[in-house]
Amino acid sequence: MKILKREPTKWRLRIESEDDLWTLSHLARPGLSIGMLGERRDQTTTGEEGGRAKVAERKKMWIRLKIATTEYQAFSELLRVHGLIEEAQFDVGLHHTHIVELRNDVELTAIHAFSQADYELLRQSEKAAQQTNIALAMVETDEIVLFYITPRGLKEGATWTMRGGGKRGDLKQSSGIAATFRSNVIKAVTATLDESTPLLLCGPGHPRDVLLSDMKALGHTRFMKSIATSMAGRAGANELLREGLAGDLLSEYAISKETSLLDEAWTRLSTNGAVAYGPEALAKAMDEGAIEVFLITADLLRNQDQRINGKTWAIWAEGLADIGATMIQCSVDHDAGQQLVGMGGAIALLRYAM
């Protein structure tokens, strides 16, 4: 996210990645206004021309909406924002939908100053602009699955299988067929990835090292690293994030931090350790000043209908600063985030067991 203007009640932003669309989908909530260039049909240009009906002309103009709803799907390249037109050359008061895409400039306006949670989410998005997407290939002898690690999520890409079907443990493949399979995968990866995209080759056993050797032999110069995991497929990808196996390469990515902290929460839960979840337990932990790290989905934090201790989650979370606690706004676009949703959307690592 590139910040073009930042004032207490007005932000002008440039969308530079899919993760920026995710961030904007949480910042652009009902009650705020969003402005950007859009198109409307000018009904004053209809009529007849040469005996034929003339279609109303579409005119590009600056349109500001009072936000009603937003629609965003994970890893899509557009965000739909619906609302009533507040400012435009015509049609003020009518419904309109902005379709926000990469490289669009948007202007968010609030009646009151943006919240601290919004500032933090914007700061993280600005920082993530310096982080590149990383390709992750989970390698087995007869199957290779390509994932993309973004600062906020884990996206599954292509899958290649040696036989184009399910695995059969009793079917032996000759080394020649295996080499052809790897060669085809390398061609596909080369066509799919930009030369500057780092590639991690992971999985159990030696197939990942063989694939790495083949790629180097073919002259690939991108950053590539072989990392051992005990599992293959998506489970292995989650292991890489959870255990921090990529080292410094992913250490500053939000997805890596969230996955690691949530895994610590699940470990404490299994041992009756210093952890709390559920509105009642969390409110008690807040009152006692026991919360050290509070993890909550960005959706729940901005939900105006859900309550904790008689307050919205956003208002309640403002008290975390008073007890020296850290709040992490989690994405649900990875497996650990989905587990958090299953736990109610919020959990806290405590300073001591309660």
pLDDT (average), residues 205-234: 93
- For residue 117, the tally of other CB atoms under 10 A from its CB is 20
Q: How confident is the model at residue 167 (pLDDT cuts 50, 70, 90)?
A: very low
Please, which residues have CB within 8 angstroms of residue 171's CB and are 6 or more apart in sequence? 163
Q: Is-contact 38 71, C-beta < 8 A?
A: no
SS3 312: strand
User: Could you say which of 77, 101, 128 is where a domain stops?
Assistant: 128
Report in angstroms the alpha-carbon separations of 86 from 6, 24, 44, 73, 113.
Answer: 21, 20, 20, 26, 19
pLDDT tier for residue 170 given thresholds of 50, 70 and 90: very low
Rounded Cα gap, residues 237 and 192, in angstroms: 19
Q: What confidence category does residue 169 fall into, taking pLDDT thresholds of 50, 70 and 90?
A: very low
Q: Within a domain: residue 70?
A: yes
> Domain check: are 277 and 333 in the same one?
yes
**84 & 19 share domain:** yes
Within a domain: 103: yes
Residue 299: give its domain's CATH number: 3.30.1330.30
| Model pLDDT, residue 346 | 97
Q: What is the structure's pLDDT at 37?
A: 95
Q: Higher pLDDT residue, 196 or 290?
A: 290
pLDDT, one tens digit per residue, over 220-279 is 889 999 999 999 999 999 999 988 888 888 888 899 999 999 999 999 999 999 999 999
265 and 222 housed in the same domain: no
Domain final position from 209, 226, 249: 249
- What is the band of 316 on the pLDDT scale with cuts at 50, 70, 90? very high
CATH number of residue 8's parent domain: 2.30.30.870
Res 52: pLDDT: 53
Beta bridge partners of 103: none
- CATH for 216: 3.30.420.60
pLDDT at 129: 81
What's the whole-model pTM score?
0.80
For residues 271 and 236, membership in a common domain is answered with no
Q: What pLDDT band is residue 321 in, cutting at 50, 70 and 90? A: very high
Query: In whole angstroms, what is the distance from residue 260 CA to residue 267 CA?
Result: 11
Query: Residue 286 pLDDT > 70, yes or no?
Result: yes
My answer on whether 343 and 265 are in the same domain is yes
Per-residue CA distances from 229 to 175, 189, 226, 232, 234 (Å):
24, 21, 10, 7, 11
Separation between Cα atoms, residue 224 and residue 22, nearest integer Å:
28
Q: What is the pLDDT of residues 20-40, one digit of tens each?
A: 999 999 999 998 999 999 999
Do residues 202 and 106 share a domain?
Answer: no
- pLDDT, one tens digit per residue, over 114-155 is 988 999 999 989 888 888 889 999 999 889 999 999 888 888
Measured between alpha carbons, how far is 73 from 18 in angstroms, rounded to an integer?
10
SS3 89: coil
Check residue 325 and give its pLDDT. 96
What pLDDT digit, counting tens, does each position of 336-346 carry? 999 999 999 99
- Are both 35 and 123 inside the same structural domain? yes
- Would residue 264 count as lying in a domain? yes
Number of H helices, E strands in the chain: 10, 20
- 47-102 pLDDT, tens digit each: 555 445 456 788 899 999 999 999 988 767 899 999 999 999 999 999 999 999 99
With respect to residue 156, please indicate whether it lies within any of the assigned structural domains.
Answer: yes
Which contacts qualify for 209-216: CB closer than 8 Å, 24 or more apart? 210/182, 211/137, 211/139, 211/144, 211/182, 211/185, 211/186, 214/179, 214/182, 214/183, 214/186, 215/186
**In which band, very low, low, confident or very high, does the pLDDT at 174 lie, cut at 50, 70 and 90?**
low
Is the same domain home to 139 and 120? no
Token couple for 158: 């292509």
Total domain count for the chain?
A: 3
Task: With respect to residue 50, please indicate whether it lies within any of the assigned structural domains.
Answer: no
- Name the domain boundary from 109, 128, 147: 128
* Same domain (yes/no): 170, 204: yes
pLDDT at site 54: 58
Rg of the chain, C-alpha, whole Å: 25
Answer yes or no: is 53 within a domain.
Answer: no
The three-state secondary structure class of 113 is coil
Of 172 and 262, the structure prediction assigns the larger pLDDT to: 262
- 93 in any annotated domain: yes
Same domain (yes/no): 163, 277: no
Determine the residue type at 83: G
Distance CA 36, CA 97 (A): 11
What's the pLDDT at 46?
64
> What is the extent of the structural domain holding 80?
2-39+58-128
